Chains A and B, each alone.
Chain A
Amino acid sequence: GAVVSQHPSWVICKSGTSVKIECRSLDFQATTMFWYRQFPKQSLMLMATSNEGSKATYEQGVEKDKFLINHASLTLSTLTVTSAHPEDSSFYICSASWTSGSYEQYFGPGTRLTVT
Chain B
Amino acid sequence: GENVEQHPSTLSVQEGDSAVIKCTYSDSASNYFPWYKQELGKRPQLIIDIRSNVGEKKDQRIAVTLNKTAKHFSLHITETQPEDSAVYFCAASRITGNQFYFGTGTSLTVIP
Contacts and interface: CB of A to CB of B under 8 A. Distances in A.
A101 B100 CA distance: 13
Interface string B1-45: 100000000000000000000000000000010100000011111
Q: Is the interface of A mostly helix, strand, loop or mixed?
A: loop
Nearest to A95: B100
Interface centre among B99, B105, B107 (most CB of A within 10 A): B99
A110 B46 contact: no
Given A43-B89, A43-B103, A103-B32, A49 B97 contact: yes
A88 B100 CA distance: 22
B46 A46 contact: no
Interface of B: 1, 32, 34, 41-46, 49, 51, 89, 93, 95, 97-105, 107
Given A42-B105, A101-B98, A107-B44, 12 more contacts: A32-B98, A41-B107, A44-B89, A45-B102, A46-B99, A46-B100, A49-B98, A49-B99, A100-B98, A103-B93, A103-B95, A108-B43
